[in-house]
């Protein structure tokens, strides 16, 4: 009999566990957001992860802000102008307070840049702003940013470049700043962080824009989509991101939730390996572009949440040329081009992908290519170390790879053209795949002037060239799709930001 | 008997050393963390960082340094968290252990009584139903069970939270999910070892003495049937830790499993090494405890 006692204890424990039920319903002044994970640190300069940026922007301000219409707006800088090709002047907002009560000064602005430029700190954002040579404090409200050569992307980069508190960081140290005492000037201040569980923030009464609508802001880490959707339905969470196409209809009709969706800067493409057969022939690359029925995929497999694009440069980006038109779906033309290139009986190829979410789309495209004679074996990879090594570090994904590129949320053609097509050794994947004569030179030319009309002309030329040369199969731009509780009024933004200062309790 | 304990302890150290070596080797071939740490930096900057982090030294030197540091309890700084790796890992440990221990307790609480009943009432409706449930439990993947439980108890009936780790109630669904995975095997072990024992002479003798049936089963039969159960339960504990990784993901539980999976994605070597080491240590300790339980349960081993 004694032996059965532990069982009774376990059962009793279980009974106790069920007893204290928390209130599932949320308090009215609390906004809860689900992210798939938390960034490794709350220090806005020491990581480069979307999930971290989404938290940081609600705690920290940058010099500039971007409106929902994608225009630059004053934030901690009230005005800015280029004094010369390499010197920019910024007027700094006065009487802005940090969460700990300190007043924000130009010295804080300089310090913020210095800690990223200082390579001993190993900031992963260094590459973003390495064109900045020096930041000079001119007077109590003026700062000069000096670049080593003309840097047209400077303003884009400053939209997410949070200004931190020099005195505070020097007192508490970098590590404590990133874990237990992050201090910014943003609408919400830090309360607590339980790693991979929740980040709890509270409205900052002295925020210069005025107090945000929600007193409490919570970022929960919920990796599984099905779980996130269940949370939205039961009111445990108010906003979820990246709602996949198959879940859209379900949330659209749910009594407690709605969908908000908008085109974003993420473009899909299949990069083709131009170094070897069969994609060393232009006609084969064009054939592949004609072979894919893009609108059918968007309508039938992506719940209509996508827009076909002519190249990888997207309508939202600076430099986009609407005159360049997408390849139509034309199987006959594809077969002709394939025959012209010397493959009348078709050709066998392998394509690679690591995008689990778009696996069905990838396989459908392989099927469409096979139909016109480009017999494709789709190979899926686990997104992780093996894929990174194989594809990114060693460029082995012959004869092509399906991928997506988010432009680091920089609304400029350069942010996609350089990583995808520039062949310089330190570049991203262009060095492995792309061989278009003269393209490198044009990309370099456009990035080394701040003369915007001139840049626009160069980008138009580039788009015509790549439309013709087809270094990729050009596909579509993705949409950002949020699932939102009906208790909250908010809309998805084209830059994928969750700028929750705009979130309001829904009128009842 | 002392030498036996010493031998087992020595084996423990060997296993841990082996696990460290294997983890180290796998991580070495899995890619370049610098490329992930500085995604847009020029090659020269990356080379400098690689040099300063000691990645250019010969592998043997790196491994020697790694082992030397472990002995001092230092797994290095996490590349991504920029803090010492071991404290981060240890902070997550209680969550995973609580979940696993709870699931194990639940499993045993179900498996032992039902297993005994099935054995005693062999080939009755009860036994057949139990067998059917065992098959169901074994066939359901952990993540699917988890999502179904969420849909049923959190979305439809609204009696339990969907996910998280904010209250005791949040522990219930993950623990049941995990227990669904381990209960079937334990139940079968209890049933079959009870069946083996129940027909033996000494049980018949006990009955003949006029001892109550309940006492015969609990005291005489179960003690001897417990040996295989303890073995399997010990092994199952390791599997449960593995299963906890999936359960933690489905239920957004901030445990060690999620930390390690995230670290693997980011090639955060120190976290992976510290995490795997700590998990291995737990598994090895549990098995050591099982060995010690043998000594208690089976006097024959003590004599040998």
Across the beta sheet with A132-139, what order do the strands follow? A77-82, A87-92, A142-147, A132-139
Q: What percent of chain A has pLDDT over 70?
A: 93
Query: Does A233 touch chain B if contact means CB atoms closer than 8 Å?
Result: yes
Which pLDDT does position A26 carry in this prediction?
55
Q: Which residues of B touch A22 (CB under 8 A)?
A: 161, 166-167, 169
Q: Is the pLDDT of residue A498 over 70?
A: yes
Confidence of residue A4 (pLDDT cuts 50, 70, 90): very low
* Cα–Cα distance for residue pair A179/A192, rounded to 1 Å: 9
Give the pLDDT of residue A153: 86
Rounded to whole angstroms, how far apart are CA atoms A385 and B26? 11
| Mean pLDDT of all residues in B257-263 | 89
Outline where DSSP puts E strands in A72-176: 72-74, 77-82, 87-92, 132-139, 142-147
Give exposure, A188-216, as e/b (b: 16+ Cβ within 10 Å): bbbeebbbbbbbbbebbeebbeeebbbbb
Q: How many CB atoms lie within 10 A of CB A3?
A: 12
- For A492, the token pair is 């998805």
Q: Do A7 and B40 touch (CB under 8 A)?
A: no
Beta bridge partners of A272: A400
Q: How far is CA A314 from the centre of its chain?
A: 14
Nearest-by-CA chain A residue for B255:
A196
Chain A, window 440-479: residues with a beta carbon less than 8 angstroms from a chain B beta carbon:
none
Which element (helix H / strand E) includes A219?
A: strand A216-221
3-class state of residue B2 by DSSP: helix
Cβ contact, residue pair A388, B36, below 8 Å: yes
pLDDT number for residue B108: 94
Q: Which of A13, A21, A230 sits opposite B162 (nearest CB)?
A: A230
- Asked if A342 has any chain B CB less than 8 Å from its own CB, the reply is no
Which residues, in sequence order, are bridge partners of residue A303? none
Structure tokens at A437: 């004569």
A426 compared with A129, residue with greater pLDDT:
A129
Indicate the range of A98-107, A261-270, B40-49 predicted with least confidence. B40-49
Our CA-based measurement puts residue A25 at a distance from the nearest CA of chain B, in whole angstroms, of 10
Q: Give A 9-68 residues with CB within 8 A of chain B.
A: 10-11, 13-14, 16-22, 24, 37, 40-41, 46-48
Identify the residue with better confidence: A31 or B196: A31
Query: Pick the residue with more confidence: A81 or A356?
Result: A81
Tokens of A459: 């980008």
Q: Give dist(CA A212, CA A147) in Å, integer.
A: 35
CA distance B188 to chain A (A): 18
Confidence (pLDDT) at B225: 84
Q: Which residues pair with A377 in a beta bridge?
A: A350
Q: What pLDDT is attached to residue A24?
A: 42
Q: What is the pLDDT of residue A120?
A: 80
A41 and B81 within 8 Å at the Cβ level: the answer is: yes
- Mark yes or no for CB contact A234/B78 under 8 Å: no
Q: What are the pLDDT digits (tens) for B132-187?
A: 988 888 888 889 999 999 999 999 999 999 999 989 999 999 999 999 988 998 99
Nearest to B264 among A224, A384, A389 (CB): A384
Average pLDDT over residues A145-159: 92
- The residue-averaged pLDDT of A162-170 equals 97
The single residue listed with the structure tokens 């010295």 is A107
Return the pLDDT at B39: 57
Identify the pLDDT of residue B41.
60
* CA-derived radius of gyration, chain B: 24
For residue A384, what pLDDT is reported?
67
Of all residues in chain A, the percent with pLDDT exceeding 90 is 74
Residue A17 confidence (pLDDT): 42
Buried (b) or exposed (e) across A55-77, using 16+ Cβ within 10 A? bbbbbbbbbbbbeeeeebeebbb
Give the residue with greater pLDDT, A387 vs A2. A387
Q: How far is B41 from chain A (nearest CA, A)?
A: 4
Contacts of B219 in chain A (CB under 8 A): 3
- Band of residue B9 on the pLDDT scale cut at 50, 70, 90: confident
Q: When comparing pLDDT for A387 and B131, which is higher?
A: B131
Cα pseudo-dihedral B274, B280, B283, B289, rounded to 10: -90
Pairwise pLDDT comparison (A122 vs B88), residue with the higher score: B88
Q: What distance in Å separates residue A64's CA from the closest CA in chain B? A: 22
CB of A439 within 8 A of CB of A466? yes
**A227–B38 CB contact, under 8 Å:** no
Task: Check CB contact under 8 Å for B36 and A11.
Answer: no
d(CA B261, CA B268): 10
Side-chain-facing half-sphere of A65: CA atoms under 13 Å: 18
The confidence band for B100, taking pLDDT boundaries of 50, 70 and 90, is: very high
Once rounded to an integer, what is the mean pLDDT over residues A237-250? 92
What pLDDT, on the 0 to 100 scale, is given for residue B105? 94
Section A200-208 average pLDDT: 97
Q: How far apart are CA A415 and CA A447, in angstroms?
A: 10
HEC states along A4-22?
A: HHHHHHHHHHHHHHHCCCC
Report the candidate in A140, A63, A78, A146 with the shortest Cα–Cα distance to residue A107: A140
pLDDT tens, A35-63? 999 988 999 999 878 899 999 999 999 99
Q: Which chain B residues are within 8 Å of A178, Cβ to Cβ?
A: 82
pLDDT of residue A82: 92
SS percent in chain A: helix, strand, coil, step 5: 35, 25, 40
Say how far apart CA A352 and CA A365 lie, in whole Å: 12
Closest to B161 (Cβ–Cβ): which among A22, A388, A392?
A22
For residue A271, the surrounding DSSP H or E stretch is strand A257-272
| B53-58: average pLDDT | 80
Q: List the single residue in B38, B81, B160 with the smallest CB-CB distance to A126.
A: B38
pLDDT higher at B251 or A2: B251
Report chain A residues whose CB lies below 8 A from the CB of B40.
127-128, 408
Q: Residues A393, A386: contact at Cβ < 8 Å?
A: no
- Comparing CA positions, the residue from A373, A286, A289 lying closest to residue A329 is A289
- Smallest CA–CA distance, residue B11 to chain A, in Å, is 31
Q: Residue A494 corresponds to which tokens in the numbers above?
A: 């084209």
- Return the pLDDT at A450: 84
Q: Which among A480, A475, A484, A478 is positioned nearest to A502, based on CA atoms?
A: A484
| Average pLDDT of span A439-459 | 92
Mean pLDDT for all residues in chain A: 90
B-chain residue closest to A130, CA distance: B41
In this complex, do B30 and A426 lie within 8 Å of one another by their Cβ atoms? no
Question: What pLDDT score was predicted for residue A483?
Answer: 97
Measured between its terminal Cα atoms, the distance across chain A in Å is: 60
The Cα-based distances of B90 to B77, B82, B96, B246, B298 in angstroms read: 14, 16, 10, 19, 35
Distance from CA of A341 to the nearest CA of B (A): 37
Residues 121-150 on A with a CB inside 8 Å of B are: 122, 124, 126-128, 130
Contact A73, A64 (CB under 8 A): yes
Is the pLDDT assigned to residue A465 strictly greater than 50? yes
Nearest to A223 among B105, B150, B258 (CB): B258
End-to-end Cα spacing for chain B: 8
Residue A6 pLDDT > 70: no
H-run or E-run covering A350: strand A347-353
Q: Chain B: residue nearest A10 by CA?
A: B105
- Residue A7's pLDDT is 47
Q: Rounded to a whole number, what is the largest CA-CA distance in chain A?
A: 89
Rounded distance between C-alpha atoms, residue A137 and residue B71, angstroms: 49
Q: Answer whether A497's CB lies under 8 Å from A75's CB.
A: no
Predicted pLDDT of residue A1:
37
**Taking Cα atoms as reference points, which of A479, A490, A56, A110 lies closest to residue A268?**
A479
Q: Which of A349, A322, A478 is nearest to A405 (CA)?
A: A478
Interface test with B, best of A22, A122, A177, A199 (most B CBs within 10 A): A122
Q: What is the percent of chain B with per-residue pLDDT over 70, rounded to a whole number?
A: 95
User: For A387-417, how does the pLDDT look when each residue is reduced to its tens digit (9 = 90+)?
Assistant: 766 776 677 777 899 988 887 778 899 989 9
At which residue do the structure tokens 């069982």 appear? A7
pTM score, whole prediction: 0.85
Q: What is the dihedral of CA B57, B59, B61, B65, to 10 degrees?
A: 100
pLDDT given at position A23: 41
Residue A19: is its pLDDT beyond 60?
Answer: no
């Amino acid at each position: 009999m004694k032996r059965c006692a532990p069982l009774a204890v376990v059962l009793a424990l279980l009974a106790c566990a069920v007893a204290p039920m928390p209130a599932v319903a949320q308090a009215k002044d609390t906004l809860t957001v689900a992210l798939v994970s938390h960034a490794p640190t709350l220090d806005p300069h020491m990581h480069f992860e979307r999930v971290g940026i989404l938290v940081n922007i609600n705690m920290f301000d940058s010099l500039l802000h971007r409106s929902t219409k994608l225009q630059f707006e004053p934030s901690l800088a009230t005005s800015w102008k280029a004094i010369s090709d390499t010197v920019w002047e910024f007027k700094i907002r006065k009487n802005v307070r940090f969460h700990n009560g300190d007043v924000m000064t130009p010295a804080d602005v300089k310090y913020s840049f210095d800690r990223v430029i200082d390579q001993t700190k190993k900031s992963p954002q260094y590459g973003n702003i390495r064109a900045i040579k020096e930041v000079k404090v001119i007077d109590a409200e003026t700062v000069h940013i000096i670049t080593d050569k003309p840097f047209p992307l400077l303003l884009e980069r400053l939209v997410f470049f949070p200004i931190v508190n020099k005195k505070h960081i020097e007192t508490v140290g970098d590590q404590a700043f990133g874990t237990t005492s992050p201090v910014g000037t943003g609408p919400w201040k830090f309360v607590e962080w339980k790693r991979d569980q929740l980040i709890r923030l509270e409205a900052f009464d002295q925020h210069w824009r005025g107090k945000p609508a929600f007193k409490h802001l919570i970022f929960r880490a919920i990796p599984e989509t099905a779980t996130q959707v269940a949370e939205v339905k039961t009111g445990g969470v108010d906003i979820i991101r990246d709602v996949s196409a198959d879940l859209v209809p379900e949330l659209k009709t749910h009594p407690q939730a709605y969908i908000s969706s908008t085109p974003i800067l993420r473009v899909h493409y299949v990069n083709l390996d131009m170094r070897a057969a069969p994609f060393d022939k232009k006609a084969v690359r064009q054939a592949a572009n004609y072979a894919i029925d893009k609108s059918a995929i968007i309508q039938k497999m992506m719940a209509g949440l996508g827009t076909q694009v002519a190249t990888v440069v997207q309508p939202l980006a600076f430099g986009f040329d609407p005159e360049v038109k997408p390849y139509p779906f034309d199987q006959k033309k594809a077969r002709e081009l394939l025959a012209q290139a010397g493959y009348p009986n078709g050709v066998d190829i392998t394509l690679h992908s690591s995008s689990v979410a778009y696996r069905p789309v990838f396989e459908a495209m392989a099927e469409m290519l096979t139909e016109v004679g480009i017999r494709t074996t789709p190979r899926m990879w686990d997104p992780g170390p093996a894929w990174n090594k194989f594809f990114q570090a060693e460029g082995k994904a012959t004869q092509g790879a399906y991928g997506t590129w988010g432009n680091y949320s920089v609304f400029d053609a350069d942010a996609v053209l350089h990583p995808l097509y520039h062949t310089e050794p330190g570049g991203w994947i262009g060095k492995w795949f792309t061989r278009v004569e003269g393209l490198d030179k044009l990309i370099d030319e456009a990035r080394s002037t701040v003369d915007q009309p001139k840049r626009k002309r160069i980008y138009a030329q580039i788009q015509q060239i790549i439309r013709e040369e087809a270094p990729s199969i050009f596909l579509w731009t993705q949409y950002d799709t949020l699932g939102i509780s009906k208790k909250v009024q908010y809309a998805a933004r084209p830059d994928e930001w969750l700028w929750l200062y705009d979130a309001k309790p829904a009128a009842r | 008997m002392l030498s036996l304990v010493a031998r087992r302890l020595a084996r423990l150290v060997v296993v841990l050393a082996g696990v460290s070596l294997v983890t180290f080797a796998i991580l070495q071939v899995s890619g370049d963390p610098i490329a992930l740490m500085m995604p847009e930096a020029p090659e020269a900057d990356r080379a400098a960082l690689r040099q300063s982090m000691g990645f250019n030294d010969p592998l043997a030197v790196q491994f020697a340094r790694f082992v030397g540091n472990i002995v001092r309890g230092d797994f290095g700084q996490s590349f991504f968290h920029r803090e010492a790796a071991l404290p981060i890992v240890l902070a997550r440990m209680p969550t995973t252990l609580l979940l696993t221990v709870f699931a194990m307790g639940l499993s045993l609480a179900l498996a032992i009584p039902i297993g005994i009943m099935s054995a005693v009432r062999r080939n009755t409706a009860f036994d057949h139903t139990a067998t059917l449930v065992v098959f169901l439990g074994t066939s359901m993947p952990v993540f699917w069970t988890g999502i179904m439980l969420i849909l049923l108890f959190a979305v439809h009936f609204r009696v339990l939270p969907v996910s998280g780790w904010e209250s005791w109630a949040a522990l219930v669904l993950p623990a049941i999910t995990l227990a669904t995975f381990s209960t079937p095997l334990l139940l079968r072990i209890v049933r079959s070892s009870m069946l083996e024992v129940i027909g033996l002479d000494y049980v018949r003798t006990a009955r003949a003495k006029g001892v109550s049936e309940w006492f015969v089963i609990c005291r005489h039969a179960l003690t001897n049937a417990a040996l295989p159960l303890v073995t399997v339960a010990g092994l199952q504990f390791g599997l449960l830790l593995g299963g906890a990784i999936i359960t933690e993901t489905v239920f957004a539980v901030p445990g060690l499993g999620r930390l390690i999976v995230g670290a693997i994605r980011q090639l955060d070597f120190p976290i992976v090494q510290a995490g795997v080491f700590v998990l291995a240590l737990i598994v090895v300790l549990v098995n050591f405890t099982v060995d010690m339980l043998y000594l208690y349960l089976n006097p024959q081993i003590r004599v040998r």
